Amino acid sequence: MKKFLKVTGILLLVLGLAGFFAFTALVWNPFEGVVPEIRKAVPRNVDFFAGKRDLAGDFSEFPVPYFYEDFEASTGAGPVKDGDLFRSLARNREVQNALQEIERVKAQLGEIPVLGVSILGDLIGKDFVVAGKFSQGGGTPTWAAYTRVSWKIRAAFGFLRFDGVREGLQGLRITWEEPLFRIQAPGGVFFAAMHKDLLMVGNQKEFLAQSYDLIAGLGDGESFVSLSDYQDQRVKRLKEWMQRTGEQDPNYLEFALSVPALARAMPELPFWEKPREDGPQELKLLHSFVNPKAMHRLWGNLVFVPEQEESPPYLASLLTVDLNRGELTPSQNRFQSTAPGERETWLRAMLQNIPQKAAAAFALRIPVHVFLEQFANSMDPDMRKLVDEGLVSSGQRGGLRGLIARVGSAFKPFVLVVVRNNDYPLYKKEFEVATPSPAPAVAWIFQANRREKKRVEELVQFFDTNYRNFGFDPKARFTLPAGPRGFEKIREWGNPQIPATGELALVNGSDQMDGLFLVSNSGKLLREIINARFSEAGVTALAADPLVSASLDTLPPKVSGFGWFQGEGLRDLMGRYREAARRRVEEGTPDPTWMLENRRKIEDEVFSRDFRGRYRSKAEIRGADRKRFDQAVGKLLDLKWRTEEMGVRGKSLDRKFAEAQAWLEFIEAGTFFFRNREKDLTFEAKAFFRF
């Protein structure tokens, strides 16, 4: 009996070892190890790339992220889910098909007995990367997904080498094309390969075969992560941010994008197009400094930072754009070459001029004459011509450009802009406003060079002498005191055609103001700015805000620009626009944005119909004819608004403003900065959340 048991034991051991070695040889070898870095499988020449480690830590149950429960419980969730974004996603067939496919895969994995396989735990939860190449003309891009999988998936994948296993899979036709599997699925043809614990799936055989060769060490190809720019612009940038913020183990999403490849694949995107001559001035001004043609590759990290003792949770975006300086215009090159400002001297001093009740503000390092030149170029041609004529008639040679050349170099190379809701208490006597508007109060702040203050004062005196030539009312001219004991004097001039406020206000600051020169459509805003600078009349500066101060401490020593916005302030601003849109629909009053977009076309129509025989251009119309012209334009605008746009656009505007307000419910505040360097532009933004 003992001999029988001994022989039986030896036989079972031999059979077990034979089975084990057969399993490791034919199915999966548990001792083959793991891939140290799955990103080394991504080919060097990809157009897009995105990767995320530990996805399992971001989801309660895939594809529902952890924060979604807090989102649904918030007051703003209802309007957001009723908004255009959520509705478009609900109607998008590709999105719905993807969600259905996820549920199908989850169900199939759940049917595997004993093992308990899950999408996050075994398939994509450890380390996941997507990369590929765009197809010109908007075709389907070439893509591949790379994921570190569990031993369960590795073993299951090994069984696919057996014909009987492949034939037993319903809805799939799988063939072995070593080293890849070709998978015919309801959604199309895909290819898959496994190397150690790295599973690769893609839609193009040659691309996936290239990835397999890279990770298996076959051939002499190079991977995407071997690029020096990947290390310098992506990896080192994240490490530098970690040193500044003290974050030791950040939860981040990394990505890269070839901008020229995206432009070739999606030429219809408005980002590539130069704004129309009659388009919004803000868009034209932005485009004069941002040149998509000069952008080579965008590198980035999105970092998710949880709530801390002195800071709400926030999302940080770390971006770097490689630039081709040869594609930049002269003004863009001058902007790119402007020396950055010191955080501790220049920027902190600027924040002292921003009231905490402001909705937004940004500071930009740029030669002032360059900025003003581009501002002039972005103006409506007819408006620019009117300004030119007013300046020439006042004795300024060269009109607006002559004035810029005369005074632009008198200022230090920066601009500060402050935006605030125009909800100030009314004075007993206010400026007349021809067209009430929800537009905010805006201030532009410059600083004169010490030796150039006389030139700036000459500019103020020039305007004070000739303001009638620009349509300002001599009966609406005031002086408003501000600062300690009212030592600063704000000069105000009224013009009913200025939207929202009906005025222009100037301050040529004294030595106590360090030579600041302030221009605004609101004297009340200028007074609040001056009072904030001196902590006067209960006004507190943004520099004292704990969140802003903490954010400032984490900036690099030098920056080229800084911006900030307050969620509540922007929500209130959106509320004012929404209320104005509702009121206009009720009253039948045309929407200002629609009027701005269509006024030039209507003016051209009226001019061609009634005035072309007597005038060469619209800008030449004067006196009674100007009044007739404006009345005819107004009547035609009103007619088209009432018959074609009022109902549809009114409802659309109300819905859009409501959605914007709802999104802003989740944001406490936001900051950003950027830094110009010789060959690239770095940008960093933070959005602080309320949940």
19 pLDDT higher than 60: no
Q: What is the mean pLDDT of residues 44-66?
A: 90
Q: What is the pLDDT of residue 8?
A: 43
Share of the chain above pLDDT 90, in %: 42
pLDDT-wise least confident of 51-60, 337-346, 577-586: 577-586
- Number of residues assigned to the chain: 691
Report whether 440 contacts 488 (CB < 8 A).
no
Report whether 10 contacts 138 (CB < 8 A).
no
Please provide the average confidence, as pLDDT, over all residues in the chain: 85
Tens of pLDDT, residues 163-188? 656 666 666 788 888 889 898 877 78
Asked if residue 491 belongs to a domain, the reply is: yes
pLDDT-wise least confident of 94-98, 401-405, 560-564: 94-98
Asked if residue 542 belongs to a domain, the reply is: yes
Q: What is the mean pLDDT of residues 142-158?
A: 89
Q: What is the pLDDT of residue 394?
A: 86
Backbone torsions φ then ψ of 326, nearest 5 degrees: -65, -20
Asked if residue 55 belongs to a domain, the reply is: no
Q: What is the pLDDT of residue 15?
A: 41
Tens of pLDDT, residues 235-245? 999 999 999 99
1 pLDDT higher than 70: no
Q: What is the mean pLDDT of residues 434-460?
A: 90
Higher local confidence (pLDDT), 214 or 600: 214
Q: What is the mean pLDDT of residues 487-509?
A: 91
How far apart are the C-alpha atoms of 350 and 560, rounded to whole Å? 13
12 pLDDT higher than 80: no
3 state SS for 466-532:
HHHHHCCEEEEEEEEEECHHHCEEEEEEECCCCCCCCEEEEEECCHHHCCEEEEECCHHHHHHHHHH
329 pLDDT higher than 80: yes
How far apart are the C-alpha atoms of 48 and 258, rounded to whole Å? 6
648 pLDDT higher than 70: no
Q: What is the pLDDT of residue 507?
A: 94
Q: What is the pLDDT of residue 31?
A: 56
Q: Confidence band (pLDDT; 50, 70, 90) for 419?
A: very high
Question: Which helix (H) or strand (E) segment is 615 a member of?
Answer: none
Higher local confidence (pLDDT), 399 or 541: 541
Backbone torsions φ then ψ of 357, nearest 5 degrees: -80, 0
Report whether 686 contacts 94 (CB < 8 A).
no
65 pLDDT higher than 70: yes
Asked if residue 451 belongs to a domain, the reply is: yes
Q: Which domain holds residue 486?
A: 342-356+415-559
Q: What is the pLDDT of residue 344?
A: 92
428 pLDDT higher than 60: yes
For 582, the token pair is: 């509702």
How far apart are the C-alpha atoms of 343 and 348, rounded to whole Å? 6
Q: What is the pLDDT of residue 13?
A: 43
Q: What is the pLDDT of residue 172?
A: 72
Tens of pLDDT, residues 367-387? 999 999 998 888 878 778 878
Asked if residue 77 belongs to a domain, the reply is: no
What is the full DSSP assignment across 133-199? Answer: E--GGG-PPEEEEEEE--HHHHHHHHHTTSHHHHHTSTT-EEEEETTEEEEEETTEEEEEEEETTEE
- Structural domain count of the chain: 1
114 pLDDT higher than 50: no
Q: What is the pLDDT of residue 18?
A: 39
Of 366, 371, 363, give the one whose Cα is nearest residue 336.
366
pLDDT-wise least confident of 11-20, 72-81, 128-137, 156-165: 11-20
92 pLDDT higher than 60: yes
Q: What is the mean pLDDT of residues 38-55?
A: 96
Burial class (CB in 10 A: 0-12, 13-18, 19+), 370: buried
Higher local confidence (pLDDT), 345 or 600: 345
Of 374, 406, 400, give the one whose Cα is nearest residue 387.
400
Q: Confidence band (pLDDT; 50, 70, 90) for 4?
A: very low
Q: What is the pLDDT of residue 50?
A: 97
pLDDT-wise least confident of 96-110, 403-417, 510-524: 96-110
Rounded alpha-carbon distances, angstroms, from residue 483 to 128, 356, 443, 457, 533: 57, 16, 17, 20, 8
Q: What is the mean pLDDT of residues 669-677?
A: 93
Q: What is the pLDDT of residue 274?
A: 76
Q: What is the pLDDT of residue 23?
A: 39
473 pLDDT higher than 80: yes
pLDDT-wise least confident of 134-143, 193-202, 450-459, 522-531: 134-143
396 pLDDT higher than 70: yes
Q: What is the pLDDT of residue 175?
A: 86
Report whether 361 contacts 563 (CB < 8 A).
yes
Q: What is the pLDDT of residue 24?
A: 46
pTM of the model: 0.83
For 550, the token pair is: 């903490």
Asked if residue 459 belongs to a domain, the reply is: yes
For 32, the token pair is: 């083959």
